[in-house]
Amino acid sequence: MQTIICQPATTPALFTAEGVVGVIFLVTIAMVVIGGLIAVHAQRLVRAVAGLALCFTGLAGVYYFLLSPIVAMMQLLIYVGAVSVLIVLGIMLASPEEAAPVDEKPTTDIKHRSVLAGPLAASIAGLLFASLAILGLKTQWQVFPREGEGDIHAVGITLLTTHGMVFELISIVLVMAIIGALVLAQRGRN
Amino acid sequence: METSIWHALLYLVGILAFAGLNAAYLGYCERKGAARIQRRSGPTEVGYAGLLQPLADGIKLMSKQLLVPKGVDGIIFRAAPILAMVPAITSMAVIPFSGNIQARAMELSVLLLFALAALAMFAILLGGWASGNKYALISSTRAVSQTLAYEIPMLFTVITVVLISGSLNLQDIALDQQGGFWRWNIFRIENGHFLTMWISFLIFFICTIAETNRAPFDMAEAESELVAGFMTEYGSMGFGLFMMGEYLNIVVAACLTTVLFLGGWDCPLGLIPGVWWFLIKIYILIFTFIWIRWTFPRTQIYKLLNLNWKILIPFSMVNLLITAVLIKVF
Amino acid sequence: MSAYWRDIFYGSKSLIKGMLITGRQFFKPVVTEQYPYETPTLPPLFRGHIELIGNAESGLPNCVVCMMCQRACPSDCISLGGKKAEGGKGKVLTSYILDFTKCSLCGSCVESCKFDALRYSHEYNLVSFNKDDFIIDLMKRLEEQNRCKQ
């Protein structure tokens, strides 16, 4: 554990404030990665959503480490508290009992799959990774100054002044969503 | 920053002890309170006046087998009780018990509390689903629909408080109310806030009862219809953790109500200031929780949602408007 | 609209009323009996299992072995034995066994007794792991009562 938290010059000991913070940071990263893997690989939908929620929670931690606690809180409130819960509710209401994962399924599916599927997927993934890597390495990253301190006052003021347009657009989207939901519900009732 | 690891550890141990003791002894208080209201005497056998009863219960629960029934989703089934307990304990970290007793004075502590409540809700949902039991499933959907619905008026009333104090930091909100009960948000004379804030307080209090799934809103574990709701399949310490999580949520709700409306650790008339005022207030609130539970029968789910959508939400919205106007006018 | 407000008003009023009622009960004394620590004062007509009445002077049972109680019993739980009295007329009781496992406490035996020899006991501590404990020898019980009296 100790060796992983290496900063170039001084590796903080594990049992100091910095060491513990480092471990917590690693835990959040692990939560993101493991959660993502579960979300992709799980056979049961609810497990996948649980993985997704784990991933979101880890992401909130990462945001917190990036000094944007507001985004972190919103991540928890909206993505875990609303989005994941809604997905789980949807799954629960849609199919009460899922079939247990059957072992034979993948083998039968492979027969129907094209021979090219595997290499194609691999090459696309490789291409994506390579291009992203090149992009990351070649770009001359500019350091933008922080807008405000990241505290709630600054965020509120910028939301209502500099980014007022975006704020209004988002509210329009939300109003449309609400009206759409009302219309759909009304139609369903009739 | 000069926070040493010992500082953090001290708070960790302190919070765990406070949480554990409360979770254990609230069960005792509830049984005693219920007994008194029904004019019984409650647990008396274990220790003086049954004071060691929680210990006995704990030993009993821990010594039982952790049964995982057939057909449940093993991992989620085991993880759910822990997930239900963790947010409740974590919330304790940002609660200001006194001017200098607070583990972490976060800028956004109010938001953090609601985010953690969302996590706890997710735990109930997962526990209910993983049990593979119809009662548990129905119960967890009920719990979630109830919690989601009651979050709306709750957040509206919290916004009124945030408007008055101008901060999302619980410490600041509490500091803003220091200096006598007329400065507490519920009776605030300044700007004439007392006109609406007591309604805010009532709405908030009703919402906390609903959020913590307590009677008369305990639709999630309606014993007469759903066996034990999402806890049906849980035995031994799995059940114990859910139970403790529930009681801790009550403690957190009482703490939050105290900080938001009742002036935190502020003493009413300048008498002997100290952390005990905070404790007195939260325990009075918790007693009210118990009192309400043993007074009113369970409502029905649609009445519960009607109350929310038809009464609490409109009232809280109007309240928010009036509060904003009052702040602007004066 | 007025119905809405009336609903809220009367609803909250009744909620407060309910709270006050339970609040008042909270401070009233306990009405339940703390069983092993408190002995209840039983009403004079309490129906426990039956017991024999001893003669006020001799302490011997009043029973004359007329067998009326045995005949009156609908569930056959009484069995008694007697023998000819030595030097005198009538019989004396030698054994009186009550099988309390079958008894339904109907009281027919007490009603049928014409010699004031049976009554209801005030025994309520009746619990055991052994069924045989409820086959009660009433003669022995009477002897013990007599001993206690002395």
CB contact under 8 A, B129 and A92: yes
The answer to whether the CB atoms of B73 and A46 lie below 8 A apart is yes
Place of tokens 């310490």: B237
- Min mean pLDDT across B30-39, B84-93, B103-112, B301-310 is at B103-112
pTM higher than 0.80: no
Binary contact (A47, B75; C-beta < 8 A): yes
Query: In sequence order, what are the beta bridge partners of A135?
Result: none
Using CA coordinates, name the residue in chain B closest to C24.
B37
CB contact under 8 A, A85 and B148: yes
Predicted confidence band at A11 (pLDDT cuts at 50, 70, 90)?
Answer: low
Residues of C whose CB is below 8 A from B41 = 30, 32, 34
- Over residues A24-60, the pLDDT tens digits come to 888 999 989 999 888 888 777 778 888 888 899 899 8
B45 interface with C at CB cutoff 8 Å: no
Q: What is the distance in angstroms between the Cα of B36 and the nearest Cα belonging to chain C?
A: 5
Q: What is the pLDDT of residue A130?
A: 93
Q: Assess A155–B contact: CB distance below 8 Å, yes or no.
A: no
Q: How many interchain CB pairs under 8 A, B with C?
A: 35
Higher pLDDT, B9 or B283: B283
A and C make contact (3+ CB pairs below 8 Å): no
Of A97-101, B95-99, C127-131, the range with the lowest mean pLDDT is A97-101
Spell out which residues of chain B touch residue C19, defining contact as CB-CB under 8 Å: 291-292, 295
Q: What is the ipTM of this complex?
A: 0.76
Residues of chain A contacting B72 with CB distance shorter than 8 Å: none
The residue in chain A having the minimum alpha-carbon distance to the alpha carbon of residue B122 is A85
B191 band by pLDDT with thresholds 50, 70 and 90: confident
**N-terminal to C-terminal alpha carbon distance within chain C:** 82
Q: Residue A112: pLDDT band by 50, 70, 90 thresholds?
A: low
Using an 8 Å CB-CB cutoff, list chain B residues near A46: 73, 76, 126, 129-130
The string of pLDDT tens digits covering residues B228-250 is: 777 777 878 888 888 888 888 88
Find the range with the poorest average confidence among B56-60, B131-135, B191-195. B191-195
Query: Which chains have 3 or more CB–CB distances shorter than 8 Å to chain B?
Result: A, C
B295 lies within 8 A of chain C by CB: yes
C137: number of Cβ within 10 Å: 12
Confidence of residue A104 (pLDDT cuts 50, 70, 90): very low
CB B183 within 8 A of CB B269: no
In this predicted model, which residue has the larger pLDDT, C116 or B1? Answer: C116
Cβ under 8 Å to B: A residues 95-114: 96-97
Tokens 């027919």 found at: C108
The angle formed by the CA atoms of residues B174, B175 and B178, to the nearest 5 degrees, is 95
Residue A80 confidence (pLDDT) above 60: yes
Q: Given the structure tokens 């220790």, which residue do they identify?
A: B47
Residue A172 pLDDT more than 90? yes
pLDDT on residue A19: 76
Predicted pLDDT of residue A4 = 41
B100-156, pLDDT tens digit by residue? 777 677 777 888 888 888 888 888 888 888 887 788 888 888 888 888 888 888 888
Residue A8: pLDDT band with limits 50, 70, 90: very low
Nearest-CA residue of chain C relative to B315? Answer: C8
Burial of A50 (0-12, 13-18, 19+ CB in 10 A): buried
The answer to whether B67 and B236 have CB atoms below 8 angstroms apart is yes
pLDDT greater than 60 at residue B176: yes
B250 residue type, one letter: I
Q: How confident is the model over B15-24, as a mean pLDDT?
A: 85
The mean of the pLDDT values for chain A is 78
**Residue A132 confidence (pLDDT):** 92
Q: Is B229 left (phi over 0), alpha (psi -120 to 50) or beta?
A: left
Neighbouring C-beta atoms of residue B233, cutoff 10 Å: 23
Three-class secondary structure of residue C28 per DSSP? coil
Residue-level pLDDT at A186? 82
Question: Is residue B66 within a helix (H) or strand (E), and if so which, with residue range?
Answer: none
Chain A residue numbers with beta carbons less than 8 Å from the beta carbon of B107 are 69, 151-152
Q: What percent of chain A has pLDDT over 70?
A: 76
Write out residues 115-154 of A within 8 Å (CB-CB) of B: 151-152
Q: What contacts B170, CB < 8 A, 6 or more positions away?
A: B94, B95, B96, B102, B109, B110, B113, B256, B259, B260, B264
Enumerate the residues of chain A whose CB falls inside 8 A of the CB of residue B117: 81
How close B235 gets to chain C, by Cα (Å)?
29
Joined tokens for residue A32: 């993101």
Interface of C with B (CB under 8 A): 4, 8, 15, 18-19, 21-23, 25-26, 28-32, 34
List of residues 6+ apart from A126 with CB closer than 8 A: none
Mean pLDDT for chain B overall: 82
| Nearest chain C CA: its distance from B162 CA (Å) | 27
- Give yes or no for B111 touching A (CB within 8 A): yes
**Per-residue confidence band for B98, with pLDDT thresholds at 50, 70 and 90:** confident
pLDDT at A127: 93
Domain-by-domain residue ranges, chain B? Answer: 72-329
Residue B115: its chain A contacts at CB < 8 A?
60, 73, 76-77, 80-81
CB-based contact (8 Å) between B318 and chain C? no
User: CA B153, CA B141: separation in Å to the nearest integer?
Assistant: 20
Chain mean position to CA A1: 25
φ, ψ (nearest 5 deg) of residue B72: -95, 165
Best CA proximity match to B248, nearest among B289, B301, B204: B289
Total Cβ atoms within 10 A of residue B127? 31
Q: Give 10-residue mean pLDDT values along chain C (150 residues).
A: 86 89 87 82 84 78 83 86 76 83 86 85 84 84 79
Length of chain B: 330
Q: What is the pLDDT of residue B1?
A: 44
**How far from C31 is each of A79, B41, C34, CA to CA, in Å?**
53, 9, 9
- Token pair belonging to B129: 């689903």
CB B174 within 8 A of CB B265: yes
Contact C23 B40 (CB under 8 A): no
B284 touches chain C (CB under 8 A): no
Peptide bond into B96 cis (omega under 30): no
CA distance B212 to C147: 63
Q: Is the pLDDT score of A89 beyond 50?
A: yes
Q: Does B163 touch chain A (CB under 8 A)?
A: no
Q: Which chains touch C (3 or more CB pairs under 8 A)?
A: B
